[in-house]
Amino acid sequence: MSVKKILFVCLGNICRSPSAEAVMRAKLKEHHRSDKYIIDSAGITDFHEGGAADGRMQQHAQRRNYNLTSISRPVIAPKDFDDFDFIIGMDDQNMRDLKALASSKAHVNKLSRMTDYCTNFTMKEVPDPYYGGAAGFELVLDLLEDACEGLIKKLEGGQSNKG
Ligand code: 4NP
């Protein structure tokens, strides 16, 4: 059985991508697929390197029973691009930054955006909640729950990365 490695990426790795990591882990557990995947997250920047997830994001996630345990780290290129099978960004700027970090066509082909996997929401980005209020954190979780379900369906359906 081959294990697939997924890296979720946002700007600071303290709000959206640690939440994506926790939601994906929980959903894989629900689907009895935990053994088939390795999940991690990282930030475009190292501003919060070594720090825990944002306290507001942790509180909102906890209300839905997601425990945000990851510690912020930056994306490491080319290592992360070699190590992971899927590198999934949250917004337009993340995608631009990830493309700039990719050093081959094979690396670019590993990139996709989180909202590509949504089946209920039509938004094209997971918006940065950092400077906003409670509704922004809730929206992040709503989008991530939708996207993670869609991502699992896609991966387990045997289809490849959307690119
Ligand atoms: P994230 O949110 O990219 O979802 O982790 C942010 C975290 C920190 C900052 C911006 C966005 N910041 O400017 O420090």
DSSP-assigned states of every residue in 44-73: SS-TTTTPBPPHHHHHHHHHTT-----B--
Judge if the beta carbon of residue 10 lies within 6 A of ligand 1: yes
pLDDT of 163 > 60? The answer is no
Q: What is the pLDDT of residue 162?
A: 42
From the CA of 11, give the closest atom in ligand 1.
3
Largest Cα–Cα distance of the chain, in whole Å?
43
Over range 93-114, report the average pLDDT. Answer: 98
- Tell me the two tokens of residue 77: 């290129």
At 92, list the tokens.
């337009």
Does pLDDT of 46 surpass 70? yes
CA of 138 to the centre of ligand 1 (A): 16
pTM as predicted: 0.96
* pLDDT greater than 50 at residue 160: no
For ligand 1, whether the C-beta of 11 sits within 6 Å is yes
HSE of 123, CA atoms in CB hemisphere, 13 A:
16
Q: Which of 48, 130, 137 to mutate to test the pocket of ligand 1 (most atoms within 8 A of CB)?
A: 130
The verdict on the CB of residue 118 being under 6 Å from ligand 1 is: no
CA 46–ligand 1 middle distance (angstroms): 10
What is the per-residue pLDDT for 84? Answer: 98
15 alpha carbon – ligand 1 mean position (Å)? 6
Active-site residue numbers? Answer: 10, 16, 128
Mean pLDDT confidence for 140-159 = 93
What does the pLDDT look like over 55-82, one tens digit per residue? 999 999 999 999 999 999 999 999 999 9
- Domains of the chain plus CATH, in order, are 4-155 (3.40.50.2300)
User: What percent of the chain shows pLDDT beyond 90?
Assistant: 94
Q: How distant, in Å, are the alpha carbons of 54, 73, 119, 141 from that of 99?
A: 26, 18, 25, 25
